[in-house]
Amino acid sequence: MVEVETSVIARAFVLLACFIRDSEELALADLVKRTGLPKGTVHRLAAQLMAVGALERSGKRYRLGLCLFELSGAVWAQRVLRDLAMPYMQDLYSVTKETIQLAWFDAEEVLYIDRVRGHDGIVLPTFPGGRMPAYCTALGKAMLAFSSPDSFRAVVSRGLTPLSRRTVTAPGMLVSQLRNIRKTKLAYDMEEAVPGVACVAAPILDEAGAAIAAISVSMTTPRLRRLRLDTVAHAADGIGKAVRARRRSAFPVTPQHYAGWTRLSGR
């Protein structure tokens, strides 16, 4: 059940968030169960959201409306970052024939923006708009290594819950991994998030050296030996140069600049 806020706007977003997880269409009873709100409140909110195009009716079920699709196209990560990154993602796929993912760092989690998946791509629990923990994914560690100490502390304070038997759950070991990532600009997930799946990621950096986003290649662990690691780094570097060329100075960098990281890591 989603934690319910008191304001009308907050409740409306709680209702819309019900569709993020795994459902294209939901009945009124589903929305009531997932939000924990009274049936009358959910019905009234749904009607108001339908009036502005944020929800649509499909028989007796609800689905997200085209209004949200239009708005999503104006989001920086979708309109600018995705468009700049896609040619490099396609190039990386043409070389590796593996699943390529682009992600953002938000609220100490990995937020997936887009991916390129081939016919023989592995099955992953990730999708555009979905989230995963930062500490056990290559994408997350690539961005966390070039983030502020506060971001690292926030991730650790949430707890390093294991997603597999290989998940790193010791903060000191995670610090050591991030220190190596700072040196090589390559991050690894060796079955830490999904058993049998390995990932390699590289950070996309801004002018100050902070991670804007990250790009990764995911594959079955045995296929990792075939991967040319420099292709991942070159793709990330190309995207970073393209982003920096846009000179969007008003764009808020996330995560925060990594000044002071050396004090935390002991370097």
Residue 266 confidence (pLDDT): 39
Domain residue spans of the chain: 8-71, 76-265
Residue 69 confidence (pLDDT): 72
Residue 77 confidence (pLDDT): 60
Query: What is the rounded distance in angstroms from the CA atom of residue 108 to the CA atom of residue 255?
Result: 8
The two tokens of residue 54 are 């944020």
> What are residue 58's DSSP bridge partners?
61
Q: Whole-prediction pTM value?
A: 0.74
Residue 72 confidence (pLDDT): 66
Residue 256 confidence (pLDDT): 42
Residue range 8-71, CATH number: 1.10.10.10
Which regions of the chain are under pLDDT 50?
A: 1-4, 249-267
Fold of 76-265: Beta-Lactamase (3.30.450)
Query: What is the rounded distance in angstroms from the CA atom of residue 263 to the CA atom of residue 62?
Result: 50
HEC states along the chain?
Answer: CCCCCCCHHHHHHHHHHCCCCCCCCEEHHHHHHHHCCCHHHHHHHHHHHHHCCCEEEECCEEEECHHHHHHHCCCHHHHHHHHHHHHHHHHHHHHHCCEEEEEEEECCEEEEEEEECCCCCCCCCCCCCCEEECCCCHHHHHHHCCCCHHHHHHHHHHCCCCCCCCCCCCHHHHHHHHHHHHHHCCEEEECCCCCCEEEEEEEEECCCCCEEEEEEEEEEHHHHHHCCHHHHHHHHHHHHHHHHHCCCCCCCCCCCCCCCHHHHHCC
